[in-house]
Structure 1
């Protein structure tokens, strides 16, 4: 009770006390030295467990004392759960240049209430790191529990994880009794990381039905194709446009440059992006398509090669880039990620990718229709798939004439290599793609 007026939550009580004091959310935030978003999130219930220090600052700003203050602080404590929410795994490195994507994904789960969200993109584009960043944010800010399932780790999946059946064979009725009791209606984020083998609809339907507070975040190289799935394509980082290297300050604000320079500074303390190295840094970012893992590999080699030497090596053989011997990043090479993405395409999708990789500059869907000879609907569907999977990107500076696309530079090289093999002899690796590409 608040002066005879019943309230059902701390957020509602906060709003009542704020309005009674004649304050806006912004003015209360200013007096309490908090952000207006923090005040709004508490009032709307997005933040279910404000910190004690935050509650004290609010009480001071509202100038409430005595019994009313005690009731105000008690209302905040009543929203605490009996047990601490489960935390996600610890991040091993900082996330760079993904502020917009982090905000969009966080809002999809907490504001828009999407229950099934898939982050889709190339291997090495940073899906896992983005999911981890959002998982920590919902844990710290909204006080959700986070259950993390590394689907690509067969040892962990086979070790008896409570969530393993979500990515394996369908379960019989009642299979999730213990799991549903564990989650119940508590706000929980289940992360299925690397679910390239697919997620079973029956599993998710049962969990969603029995766990009202459950949200599921999937990372994979292709959409799951499930009802209610919100797909968020994750593209490589923004690349510097040609000529931008003349403005070092503007160049340093570009996402791919920020990431590359941040990794280089770990190996070359004191490194500063200046006019002398700006052109080659910009060229590296463009050559590697702003792909985070490729940029991390490249930065790892700058301890023994200058950026100019590295660029010369990659110009001669772009797929010679692999993880350096001493590194914190995943092993492998750039070609491995690209080949895996190609193998997941249908022959028709691969054929269109090969054909459009020959186009100089950017192109529109209408131009793809003309080049392929397909119907507009067939071509639009294939372009949509290629974009969702991160093999093509929206071209920078597209005008009012409509959306235009670019094939990623690295995929242009792969497609040209494969096309040359087909013309030289039997296409042993991608026979369907060879037939479609050469017949089209």
Structure 2
């Protein structure tokens, strides 16, 4: 297979795969040359398309140097023996539209959000939707559900690209990753000169897919996404990101944590957050059968964890060593104790690290405002922000909106008035960070 460039040149898929695998494991061309005993010049020529028909022993040596598994090695060997066959990928794409990843768990409590996004993308009312929200809230899981429903409804092709994670390694996934790197990165084309975006458009133009870019951190040149939508009418793009990308025409979809009862209010034992806790708890203690008092404590645990699914998962895993009352006590024993229990008993800290990383990278003005608000309490309104900062109402509204779209603050409507609540986990992390800075 080869990728067609606008100039009429071609870069064989073999060269693209070699470069993709080499960069995935962090090797330079010189390091691959040393491992494979193939010359640096030969590797460079293959990656740049100047050498098009590698010998069988060269393919074997490069595959050995890259430490490829059986499937990836077979793909590499197949690519080495092919000529100009990009039509084969296109034919396979159209005959068997790719599907999204399989979800291993049931999504709870997200039916309204799922239905809205599916409707907007399926009807074409929106073509670029970015799901934003705090880490652990379930952005990826929601994207899988949306993509699954669209694929099931009319076999919409789904091109799933985990921006910071591994792909499946097949030819189409490799091309999608190269196009995503080109869309989101600084350079116009990858180092090998391949225009992966143009190649992708050629393959999918007759049957536009849903392109899912999962875990986007930033977009260096927003105009490339806009141009892709123009070049491929009918294409829909679903993005999951920490905050909006700033792309013209982007639809921001804020994914809030699951609803939980406010302190002192009646709780629903069948609420999604409570059900998630119980489902996860029974993985560790199949015999758990809470009475009415323990169920109330579970509802309070979910409230303390802001209804964030991944935080609930982490806390429930502590039932390996705690009873429900002890877990409840630990989560209410100060900010550091709350943050500590974002890790399971095995010590994993991914959610806590992600939260602290997000707070540490806030623009100075937003971090200062959050510091000040955390010192005032859990809830506030715009009048309090104005009094606290001396800013005008529009400026205060913009500042709070930025915190809301980052998932750090949650809107709260009562008595016809807008109020806002700082998430417990955010407030705990910010207070701990303040102690460190002091």
TM-score (norm 2): 0.70
Aligned partner of 1:198 in structure 2 is: 219
- Residues 189 and 278 (structure 1), Cα distance of their counterparts in 2 relative to 1, 3 Å cut: same
Separation in structure 2 between the aligned mates of residue 371 and residue 258 of structure 1, nearest angstrom:
39
> Residues 103 and 128 from structure 1, CA distance in 2 versus in 1: closer, same or farther, beyond 3 angstroms?
same
- Residue 435 (structure 2) aligns with: 420
- Would the alpha carbon gap of residues 367 and 159 (structure 1) be closer, same or farther in structure 2, given more than 3 Å must change? same
Structure 1 position 269, deviation (Å): 3.0
- The Cα shift of 1:140 comes to 0.4
Is the alpha carbon distance of 1:374 and 1:108 closer, same or farther for their aligned partners in structure 2, counting shifts above 3 Å? same
1:409 and 2:430 are equivalent in the alignment? no
Closer/same/farther in 2, CA of residues 199 and 95 from structure 1, 3 Å limit = farther
- Secondary structure at the residue paired with 1:242? coil
What's the counterpart of residue 207 of structure 2? 186
Q: Retained in 1: the 8 A contact 2:226–2:247?
A: no
Could you say if the C-alpha distance between residues 404 and 112 of structure 1 is closer, same or farther in structure 2, counting changes exceeding 3 Å? farther
Q: Deviations over 1:221-249 (max 9, x none)?
A: 0110010000001111111223345xxxx
Q: How does 1:320-335 map to 2 (within 5 A)?
A: 320-324=340-344, 331-335=348-352
1:137 alignment counterpart = 149
| Bigger mean CA deviation after superposition, 310-319 or 402-411 | 310-319
- Once residues 224 and 334 of structure 1 are traced to their aligned partners in structure 2, the CA distance between those partners, rounded to angstroms, is 22
CA change 1:174–1:152 in 2 (3 A) is: closer
- 2:186/2:220 contact within 8 Å kept: no
Aligned match for 1:97, one of 67, 89, 109: 109
CA contact (8 A) 2:226 2:248 kept: no
Displacement of 1:152 after TM fit? 1.7
Question: Residues 54-105 of structure 1, C-alpha deviation per residue, up to 9 Å, x if partnerless?
Answer: xxxxxxxxxxxxxxxxxxxxxxxxxxx9612210111122211111111121
Aligned to 1:232: 253
User: 2:222–2:246: 8 Å Cα contact kept in structure 1?
Assistant: no
- Counterpart of 1:284 (choices 288, 297, 301) is 301
Matched residue, 1:148: 160
Partner of 1:353: 370
SS across alignment from 1:86 = coil
Partner of 2:327: 310
Quick check: 1:264–1:299 contact (8 Å CA) kept in 2? yes
1-side partners of 2:421 and 2:342: how far apart?
Answer: 25
Offset at residue 148 of structure 1 (A): 0.7
Cα deviation 1:161-209 (Å, max 9, x = unaligned): 3433222234359653321121113131111100013263243233212
Are 1:151 and 1:195, in contact at CA under 8 Å, matched by a contact in 2?
Answer: yes
CA RMSD of aligned residues (A): 2.6
Cα distance 1:220–1:260, how it changes in 2: closer, same or farther (>3 A)?
A: same
Go from structure 1 to structure 2 and tell me whether the alpha carbon gap of 1:121 and 1:268 turns closer, same or farther (over 3 Å shift).
same
Match of 2:237 among 202, 216, 239: 216
Which SS does the other structure have where 1:194 is aligned?
A: strand
- TM-score normalised over the length of structure 1: 0.70
Runs of 5+ unmatched residues, structure 2: 1-92
Relative to structure 1, is the Cα distance of residues 322 and 159 closer, same or farther in structure 2, using a 3 angstrom cutoff? farther
